[in-house]
Chain A
Amino acid sequence: MSQLRRVAVAIVTVMVAAALASCGGSNGDSSSVLRIGTSSGISSPNPFVGYNQDDYSVWTYIYPTLLQYDTTKSGFPYAGNFARKWSTSTDGRTVTFHTVPDASWSDGTPLTADDAAWTLTMIKKYAHGPTATWAGSVRYMTSARATDKDTLVVTYRRPVASAYSDVGMTPILPRQVWGQYATGNGKQLTTFENVPENGKPLVGGGPFVMTKYTKDSIALFARNSHWYGPAPHISGFGLQFFHDEDAMITALKTGQLDAINEIPPTSVSSLQKAGQHVYVGPALSLRDLIINSDPNKTKNRELLDPQVRKAMEYAVDRDAIVKTAWLGYASPGASLVPAGNATGGTQWHDPDISPLPFDIDKANQILDSLGYQRGGNGIRVADGHQMSYNVIFPQDEEGAGDRAFQIIQRGFRQIGIAITQTRLDDDAAFQAIYGGKKSGYQFDLAMWDWFPAADPGFILDAMTCKQYGDWNDSGYCTKQYDALDLQQDRTTNASQRQSVVFQMQQMIYAAKPYIILTYDKRLDAWSPKWTGFVESPQGFFNNFSTQSLLSVRPA
């Protein structure tokens, strides 16, 4: 027992000593290193493996891109990054970039237009395998070549409207590092870990270099002394990964963090009370109620009727969803393309599309006129069956989505439609939506969200027939819409493209494969000890531009 007592005393002593030591603060912290908390985290620093939002933002800061979006200006016009000038030929099939002369990678190797040409060509070469995650960026590209060390010429089989967003925002990789893996079947491009080793930072060409990476824990970055642009004010930054949002919020309040890229609405008031700065702005995301639009759907086919969908939209109380589910940090949605969707100075969101008002009487009138009478339990009967539907509810939507569902359920109940919630994890939810080639789309309703890319091409394309079983989660498919999608994709004139994009949004709004419920608000927070953050619909740490961490500095 005396031995046991000694062990106990030793442990207690160590714990007390550690606790006392912790009260002294953390010696050696550098005050110009920005500590960012994130719940997304880096899935992999390898651009051909990673898929998280933070991965894309990190690549934007450690690798050069030809262009970026200027998020300080309306419509997010293109701004130069590694390219200083850019132009498109009159036939839209050739795009030329003039790059920064005499630039170099962080290891001192010259960084030229040839590196950009090599990266794009390599992505194209392995597009059906290892580099498939970036294959969309080189669609219809026939060649990428450096005509001299400062000029990159990209040619296309046909005009591509989003060429600047696609090629311009693709990270350029150092050939001296990646060249050895781009051989044979290219498999090593995905097995290469791409992390700092032996105390040496990753070779990069952006304003920062990655100096340390610990999976599921932290990534550290230091200023790149070889960076061709203006030097950042901070000496570096760190991304600390959190699995629990409450812990992350507490860390900001207690000074263990300097900023958080995306906070939940529930934490806004407590952070403000704690004296932290909270940013509220438009986000590039939307929440939707999906109504199966597959004409081959076999059951509950009344849901294919646009009038029924219209009645359902009248019964959705968006204001209550905004107020109750999102605590006011959202706005009512209507169009498939949210207000944050802008590129190259052009706004792609159609402002003329407005949501239908919450009007139970009007909804009931529509359903009455269709002859769907209420049964004894108050639920209407359509074609011999009750209007009672199942709503597929993925894990993604938990929390605010649950409260939104309850509000929709209450509204539907008032018009004689019953809905029940089926919770599934995200993979299982998509499988429940799309059952495969044989069965197609047989579900009734679902709730989900979209975090579209800045260019509208992506979200618009998700509603086409060719995306059946892939991005298409509504079963919507019409030849007219597909033709418009093709047209917008090849229209390089921005105003002409905008008119096609607006037309497509109106088509979707009229057909209602989605009832767009709300657009999210972007919520970020930082300590008042810091200033100079540049916000965007993806937060202050984003893959739109390097502006934010170039201008942030201690207050």
Chain B
Amino acid sequence: MPRLRFVLRRLAFAIATVFVAITLNFFLFRVLPGDAVRNLARVPHASPGLQHALAREFGLDKPMWEQYLIYLRELAHGNLGVSFTTRQPVSGDLRQALLNTLPMVSLGTIFAILIGTVTGVVSAWRRGTVLDRVSTNLAIAFYSFPTQWLALVLLIYLSNWLPSHGMTNDFLVDPSFWQHELDVLRHMLLPSLTLGLTLYGEYTLIVRSAMLETLGEDYILTARAKGLRQRQVILRHALRNAMLPTITLIALSLGYIVAGAILIETVFSWPGIGSAVYEAVTKRDYPMLQGAFLVLTVSVVFFNFVADLLYARLDPRITE
């Protein structure tokens, strides 16, 4: 029963968070100074009435509360609205952007988790050695590099060998399925590598810290006293117990995967959700912004919820 109560409580909290986020997303962009349609209306051949025509078309001439109620009503029907800039349904644009983002960000995140875990374990295992110092300092350095700077450095030095922009080479003539897949993968390498390098440092530091804590426990001493080999001690006893904070970090990272990586997608012109948000912000495309932030909110809240459940499973004491 305590566990069910815990789950229900977390679920209610998640739903409330999403609703608050929906409301904030709606009002946040509208209270900023400026006008959503002015830029769209400032085109050379336009009539002075274009601004009013656009405001009418987008419903921006209605009172704010009425716009909010319409937004909630449409959202309840699964309608995210129509983009101000493309006049196409936001759901379609967002779906495509998400499909573009997920493989690239997933590859980068997997890379970060693998490298971060290995370097974290090795650092803890070889604590105080040159290897540990080099690995830890490198992790801190990559963790602190500005993402766009690292992206540009990689782009400048590696673009002779790897594609530096977009998702595919659209100038390929009638590519086969595998040619196309390989082409996408090649285009994915630089942005994924950038993301992986900026993320792995965090994993290294957390795994190292958790490992060091675990290596000081009595049961590790016991394992050693039993005459187990060092590798068995590290992998079977220390690493498994040190994975708890790492799993939490992974769960939280997954929530942010759908946000894409705005800076990385911008530098590499990757047509993902990060680029879409960037474009929407600069164009004040309210429906697109609301849709993108809604997806991000739901994703983060969902994976937080999953992390809570996972934690409750791994450590039942927190449900009491």
Q: Measuring CB to CB, which residues of chain A are less than 8 angstroms from any residue of chain B?
A: 1, 4, 7-8, 11, 14-15, 18-19, 21-23, 26-30, 33, 35, 43-44, 46, 49, 51, 127-130, 132-137, 166, 170, 187, 190-191, 193, 212, 214-218, 220, 238, 240-244, 246-248, 250-251, 254, 256, 424-432, 452-453, 458, 466-467, 470-471
Contact = CB atoms under 8 A, between A and B. Distances in A.
B172 A240 contact: no
A294 to B, nearest CB: 19
B152 A246 contact: yes
Nearest to B172: A28
Given A136-B45, A254-B160, A243 B269 contact: yes
Contacts of A470: 48, 51
B166 interface: yes
Contacts of B173: 28-30
A18 B185 contact: yes
Contacts, number: 199
11 contacts: A11-B107, A21-B186, A23-B161, A49-B85, A135-B45, A217-B170, A240-B170, A244-B266, A246-B152, A430-B38, A453-B45
Query: 3 nearest interchain CB pairs?
Result: A427-B34, A135-B47, A132-B50
Contacts of A43: 85-86
B175 to A, nearest CB: 7
B35 A431 contact: yes
Nearest to B48: A470
A250 B164 contact: yes
A219 B268 CA distance: 17
B77 interface: no
Interface stretch (B132-140, B221-229, B252-260, B273-281): B273-281
A133 B43 contact: yes
B44 A453 contact: yes
A130 B56 CA distance: 11
Interface of B: 32-36, 38-40, 42-51, 53-54, 57, 82, 85-88, 93, 96, 107, 110-111, 114, 118, 152, 155-156, 159-167, 169-175, 179, 182-183, 185-186, 189, 235, 239, 265-269, 271, 275-276, 278-279, 282, 284
Contact of B87 (A28, A44, A217): A44
Nearest to B169: A26
Nearest to B88: A193
A317 to B, nearest CB: 31
Contacts of A458: 44
Contact of A136 (B47, B161, B162): B47
A426 B39 contact: yes
B171 A132 contact: no
Nearest to A22: B186
B86 A132 contact: no
A184 to B, nearest CB: 14
B45 A133 contact: yes
A452 B267 CA distance: 30
A133 B167 CA distance: 32
A11 B159 contact: no
B174 A28 contact: yes
Contacts of B275: 216, 243
A415 B170 CA distance: 57
A533 B241 CA distance: 66
Contacts of A217: 166-167, 170, 269, 271
Nearest to B281: A425
A4 B114 CA distance: 8
Given A133-B43, A431-B33, A22 B284 contact: no
B165 A14 contact: no
A428 B163 contact: no
A483 to B, nearest CB: 19
B255 to A, nearest CB: 22
Most buried by A among B36, B44, B160, B267: B44
B49 A238 contact: no
Given A4-B114, A29-B172, A129-B53, A51 B43 contact: yes
Contact of A27 (B49, B165, B179): B179
Contacts of B54: 132
B271 A216 contact: yes
A214 B33 contact: no
A218 B170 CA distance: 8
A78 to B, nearest CB: 17
A215 B93 contact: yes
Contact of A432 (B33, B46, B49, B162): B33
A264 to B, nearest CB: 14
B276 A256 contact: no
A45 B172 CA distance: 23
Contacts of B51: 470
A14 B276 contact: no
A247 B164 contact: yes
A26 B171 contact: yes
A329 B174 CA distance: 42
A44 B279 CA distance: 13
Given A18-B185, A136-B44, A244-B267, A254 B164 contact: yes
